[in-house]
Structure 1
Amino acid sequence: MTDFPLIADHGLIGDLQTAALVSTEGTVDWWCAPRFDSPSVFGALLDTERGGHLSTRPTTGTFTTKQLYLPDTAILVTRFLTTAGVGEIVDFMPIAADRDGTTRHRLVRLVRCVRGEMTFAFHLAPRFDYGREQFRTHANDDGAIFEGPTSTLRVRLIRAPGDEHLGRSTVDSSGDVHGELRLVAGQVRGLVLETGPGTLDEVPVTEALRLYHETEAFWTRWINRSTYDGRWREMVNRSAITLKLMTYAPTGALVAAPTAALPEQLGGERNWDYRYTWVRDASFSVYSLLSLGFTDEAAGLARWLRDRVDEQAEKGDGGPLNIMYRIDGSSDLIEETLPHWSGYRNSAPVRIGNGAAGQLQLDIYGEAIDSLYVAHRSGLSLGHRGWVAVRDLLDWVAANWSQPEEGIWETRGGRQNFTYGRLMCWVALDRGLRLAADYGRPAPLDTWREARDAIYDEIMQRGWSPSRQAFRQHYETDVLDSSLLRMPTVGFITPGDPMWASTLQAMESELVTDSLVYRYDPAASPDGLRGDEGTFSLCTFQYVTALAAAGKVEKARFTFEKMLTYANHLGLYSEEIGLTGEQLGNFPQAFTHLALIDAAVTLNRQLDNARR
């Protein structure tokens, strides 16, 4: 295995605590266990030689592959078409909470021959702790155990009585296991990968099929709770399932993406670890999930956010929130590089952890308080303890909104007075005032109102560029920034205001290309990093929302439809789109999929209104 598959040539499976990527050729080349942010078991996505993988493919010299999800589920089917027959690999992860109350993580790979006769070769090559942990391999007729000092992976064969003749396996000098499965039409066999210690015994086919049907039932029941019945139901459902796959069930936290260090530019250094929960992403997700009727998931995220606010209040130091946390709420995200890994298509450095965790980003307060306000309007109440924590947080915002910060895009070129950060501080105070009025709770309303109005006046005076006739990225530049597409969405300015119309026009002339939207121009606004980046898919979907809100409904629809053509074969998006349409950055990205949902809901509503 020497070639890197394209980032887009993958599907995602998961058990609501961790997730894996499976390529279109049936290779599991990314899996961290037991949690999203745990060290890797398979990491070939970032180093094909040293990362580790599970591959299963026909022994026939040439074959064609097709990949799809079982409709309305997270069960992934990879089909192989050969001259000898047609076969399938069906990959899924049973939901982590087991019947006996224990938690284990299982990756089930069913291998079946659909037509003709086929022989599948499999290669099991785990590499624990990003390839840094040595292991020993123990194999027998029922499977294999890979055991290191801190990690264990059991691989159990899915078999039926009399299967001894179906294949054989060997262990090579690296401790990898190679084997074959010879199948005829109608036969189903495969592998079950389990983390942690336990027995090594075969898995009956009937048990594997039971897990399959239970997993199918879970996902179909879950997606049937969606209230969305608009024009783009298939894409919206897939985005909702993808967001659910990136949710850590024990805490309700949502990771930004299940991957780390996938590059925003091939060969560049913009390679970040996204396996954590950003306050910003979690806040946006509350709104997106509520718009589809997923109140339990939205409530879980709102509770996670409230807990972070509570923890900050309990510290009593008056300091700001972190911009991101681990999925359990801890904040140890020390950034390091893996020099022994080459990186995706030689895009080094490979980073794990995230050094931006300690940055000051003022926008997160607006997003967090706005999400609590949206949750409140949807019937999710805020108790006394939660209100006291929110009040303390807003007191901090009222006293600190005017300081320079690193901004939403986590630039590493120094702090600035970013317009978007000011905008979201305005949102935080505005929503706080509304919450206080709705709940009748005590609050320093005059102080908050004074700060809110001061922010409004400052943005209109210093955030506006007379030469560009547009709102600008920060006060010391005339560079445009697509984060400001949210100005009318949050109610700061009306969509028909001439100042907003000229801002939107300026963005279209400078940041939009073939309907795709750049965050900003890094050449005009140095961000402390080398190289360029692709268009940012979140911003493209937010552009659709802005167009629809401005009454440009048909243009918004065409832009949205064009953006759908950039999805991969399964309807998944990474963070960015490159010059030739390739997916770049961590994959799939929650930010992009929640923005797709928002755009679809808004655009569908506007189209319905236009036809009445």
Structure 2
Amino acid sequence: MAGTPTFEAAGGDPYLPISDHGLIGDLRTVALVGTNGTIDWYCCPAFDAPSVFAAILDAERGGCFELAAIGPARTKQFYFPDTNVLITRFYAEDGVGEVQDFMPVGGGSVEADRHRLIRRVVCVRGSLPFRVRVAPRFDYGAQPHTLRMVGDMAVFASENLSLALTATVPLELRGPDARADFKLSEGESAVFALDQVGGDVQPRGCARTEAERQFTSTVAYWRRWLAQSRYRGRWREMVHRSALTLKLLTYAPTGAIVAAATTSLPEQLGGERNWDYRYVWVRDAAFCVYALLRLGFSSEAEAFMEFVTRHITPGDGRASGPLQIMYGIDGRTDLTERELPHLDGHRGSAPVRVGNAAADQLQLDIYGALIDSVYLYDKWAKPVSSDQWDDVCALVDWVCAHWDQPDEGIWETRGGRKNFLYSRLMCWVAIERAIRMAHRRGLPADLSHWREVRDTIYRRIMSRGWSASRQAFMQHEDGEVLDAAVLMMPLAKFIAPTDPKWLSTLDALTQDLVSDSLVYRYDPQASPDGLRGDEGTFSICSFWYVEALVHAGRLDEARLAFEKMLTYANHLGLYAEEISSTGEQQGNFPQAFTHLALISAAFNLDRALG
């Protein structure tokens, strides 16, 4: 079949594990490159555009860009130091070769619109034969395309998108795909470049000299960016890889930060917990601002604040609040969720979804995350403007009037609204941080009313969020179910990290939700969330756990838990959303939430260890 990948993972499985991938991008979109040399996820021209390569979601119909040594070969994948340039090396009996994958960053607007994806193949020892197959499947594999040669370029044209493939070796057209077999000797190279074309972007070749120039400029860009980091701690490599990953998840034209690079990678193989994360979650992006500010990347924080000012401002009020919980990377609000039944899903994990119905949920915690990020930006980067302060006041006034209602909560449950403790906690944070800003800057605010509501929320959490029988703070009011989200209580400065009530909560969480330092969000059997199946440990919660141990003074436990978490990263230091019971990455990949939590945990653990 034309759509079936040539290369298969070990054991004949056409799907690589989620973790067997690296990420490249141009601050507008990204691609996942497998350890076998195959690009099996790529959306063009933006993160949330329909896919061109999606073999990770359907090996037969999704489309891919294969490039690998012919014959038996071991592979190793790594990043060029301090960059997002990815190297996949092939070790064979007759030689060693490597594929250098990257997307040039910057340039003029026309060049940025090209979204050039360069794959440079180099033989470093001996000689090696290679095979390439470029098999795009437009619009999530639903839209046909034509293929023709224009000079020495292969042009793939669909109704809504055209791509041009240039190569320094002869291409053969076979059905809807372009292919080539070639052999390189030591010191020789070949270049493949895939461009979006149309409009002002004309097809343009990519000779070896241009590929070399763009490789050099891309390496220089990433090293120049990373040099701004102020982190000099014990875990520099992992922290900087997380920072580089968060930067890749940034949409440069608007300053938006997406939650993850993919859609519908399963939280449980064969299960239905498959969601589209290629959007801007107010919560996730606000936490990203905190992590980047910690490291000294203030321009990214400023760009996100500009996105907030343009798109995430109090509107005329909807049933779910003045803000949505998530937005498109261009600020759009319509994120209608639909299923793609023609795709099998990763290893049969259907349905594949695009869009996200959670956009219409009420999640009160987002106000605390957002206003906390505004507070930190105002404190560490740049004072907020008078218009921005007016927006903050409007949000806080809304929180004061609406905090006392059930919502879907941080975990976006689809089993009905509850009075979640975490939502109450972050409403308290929203008001408390705004009060701090008003005091520090002398800004106008209804402080007496804000203080009254803040204190009411505090007392409500202490009285109805606490379970005397469990000696712990619970997931929701008057309940008996634990939730790892309450790990944020001391981190948000709501409760002293050595308060006896908090320490007993930490012990209860350790007993019920922690497995060898890995932390489950909650028990879906004890607290039904409206979905079938189980899930793995949630990686952001594991890093929250580390921070909670740090603040409680349990530094040996914290360091051990942190070091263990680092061993669950993939070979490049990347994390998906969850870790399965067998230690595999699962869920969308890589996930911003996890990487920002790693940065925060490393920073605070470093500081505590001295």
Moved more, 89-98 or 553-562: 89-98
Partner of residue 124 from structure 2, selected from 114, 128, 136: 114
Deviations 1:417-472 (A, max 9, x none): 00000000001111111112222222211211111111000000000011110000
- Give the structure 1 partner of residue 11 of structure 2: none
Identify the residue that residue 162 of structure 1 maps to in structure 2.
none
Aligned to 1:380: 382
User: Does 2:81 correspond to 1:71?
Assistant: yes
1:24 aligns with 2:35: yes
- Give me the whole-angstrom Cα distance separating, in 2, the residues matched to 1:42 and 1:522: 34
Structure 1 residues 446-455 or 26-35, which shifts more? 446-455
Moved more, 145-154 or 176-185: 176-185
Counterpart Cα distance in 1 of 2:471 and 2:184: 68
The 2-side partners of 1:204 and 1:441 are apart by 58
Task: Find 2:240's aligned residue among 237, 240, 247.
Answer: 237
Instruction: Tell me which amino acid in the other structure corresponds to 2:45.
Output: P
AA at the equivalent of 1:94? P
Q: 8 Å contact 1:313–1:389 — kept in the other structure?
A: no
Residue of 474, 484, 489 corresponding to 1:482: 484
**Match of residue 218 from structure 2:** 215
The superposition leaves residues 348-390 of structure 1 with CA deviations (integer Å, 9 ceiling, x where unpaired) of 0000000000100000001111111111111411111111111
- TM-score (norm. length: structure 1): 0.95
Superposition pairs of residues 571-590 of structure 1, within 5 angstroms: 571-590=573-592
Q: Measure the CA separation in 2 of the matches of 1:350 and 1:559.
A: 34
- The 10-residue stretch of structure 1 (20-29 or 292-301) with the greater mean CA deviation from structure 2: 292-301
Matched residue type, 2:195: E
Q: 1:417-566 residue pairs with structure 2 within 5 A? A: 417-566=419-568
Partner of 2:173: 171
What is aligned with 1:196? 197
Counterpart in the other structure of 1:410: 412
Contact preservation (8 Å) 1:142, 1:200: no
1:100 CA drift (Å): 6.2
Distance of 1:148 and 1:318 partners within structure 2: 39
Residue of structure 2 equivalent to 1:153: 163
| Alignment partners' CA distance in 1, 2:383 and 2:349 | 46
CA distance in 2, matches of 1:320, 1:522: 30
Query: How many Å apart are 1:557 and its aligned residue?
Result: 0.4
Paired letter, 2:590: P
| Paired AA for residue 391 in structure 1 | C
Q: Does 1:125 align with 2:127?
A: no
* Structure 2 counterpart SS, 1:45: coil
SS of the aligned residue for 1:491 comes to: coil
Give 1:303 deviation, angstroms: 2.5
Cα shift at 1:318: 10
Contact 2:85–2:101 (Cα < 8 Å) also in 1: yes
Amino acid of the structure 2 residue aligned with 1:452: R
Contact 2:320 2:362 (C-alpha < 8 Å) held by counterparts: no
Cα distance between partner residues in 1 of 2:508 and 2:319: 42
**1:88 aligned onto 2:91:** no
Quote how far apart the aligned CAs of 1:404 are: 0.6
Q: Which residue is 2:64 aligned to?
A: 53
For the residue of structure 2 that corresponds to 1:181, the secondary structure is: strand
2:304 aligned to which of 295, 301, 304? 301
SS at match of 2:491: coil
Aligned mates of 1:541, 1:338 — CA distance in 2:
34
User: Take 1:505 and 1:303, find their aligned partners in 2: how far apart are those partners?
Assistant: 41
Q: What is the Cα deviation at residue 104 of structure 1?
A: 1.8
Assess if the C-alpha contact under 8 Å between 1:366 and 1:425 holds in 2.
yes
Look up the equivalent residue of 1:72 and give its one-letter code. Answer: D
TM-score after normalising by structure 2:
0.96
In structure 2, relative to structure 1, the CA distance for the partners of 1:583 and 1:319 (3 Å cut) is: closer
List aligned pairs for 1:353-364, cutoff 5 A: 353-364=355-366
Tell me the secondary structure at the aligned position of residue 274 of structure 2. coil
**Partners of 1:102 and 1:497 in 2: CA distance:** 53
Cα drift, residue 320 of structure 1? 2.3
Q: Summarize the Cα distance change of 1:493–1:580 in structure 2 as closer, same or farther, 3 Å threshold.
A: same
Take 1:553 and 1:586, find their aligned partners in 2: how far apart are those partners? 31
Amino acid in structure 2 at the alignment position of 1:41: V
How far apart, CA to CA, are the structure 1 residues paired with 2:132 and 2:23?
20
Verify the 8 A CA contact 2:321 2:362 in the aligned structure 1. Answer: no
For 1:584, the aligned partner's letter is Q
- Answer yes or no: is the 8 Å Cα contact 1:135–1:149 preserved in 2: yes
Report the CA distance between 1:98 and its aligned residue: 3.1
* 2:411 is the alignment partner of 1:401: no
CA contact (8 A) 1:142 1:201 kept: no
Amino acid at match of 1:105: H
Cα distance in 1 between the residues matched to 2:277 and 2:447: 37
In structure 2, which of residues 2, 20, 29 is the aligned counterpart of residue 9 of structure 1?
20
Offset at 1:196?
Answer: 2.3
**SS class of match (1:506):** helix
Q: SS where residue 521 of structure 2 aligns?
A: coil
Alignment partners' CA distance in 2, 1:59 and 1:317: 58
CA 25–248 in structure 1, closer or farther in 2 if over 3 Å, else same: same
2:266 corresponding residue in structure 1: 263
Q: Secondary structure at the match of 1:357?
A: helix
User: Deviation of residue 409 (structure 1)?
Assistant: 0.1
**Matching residue of 2:285:** 282
Q: Give per-residue Cα distances to partners, 1:467-522, cap 9 Å, x unaligned.
A: 11000000142110001101011111001100000000000000000100000000
**1:265-298 CA deviation, whole Å, 9 max, x = no partner?**
0000000000001000111111111110111111
1:172, CA displacement in angstroms?
A: 2.0
Distance 1:89 1:238 in 2: 20
Equivalent residue letter for 1:33: C
- 2:335 aligned partner: 333
8 Å CA contact retained: 1:246, 1:255 = yes
Supply the distance in 2 between the matched residues of 1:181 and 1:76 (Cα, whole angstroms): 22
| Distance of aligned partners of 1:314 and 1:525 in 2 relative to their CA distance in 1, 3 Å threshold | closer
* Aligned-partner Cα distance in 2 for 1:101–1:568: 32
Match of 2:147 in 1: 137
134-143 vs 80-89, which moves further: 134-143
SS at match of 1:110: strand
For the residues of structure 2 that align with 1:201 and 1:34, how far apart are their CA atoms? 17
Superposition map of 1:334-349 within 5 A: 334-349=336-351
Partner of 2:256: 253
Name the structure 1 match of 2:208.
205
- 3-state SS of paired residue (2:113): coil
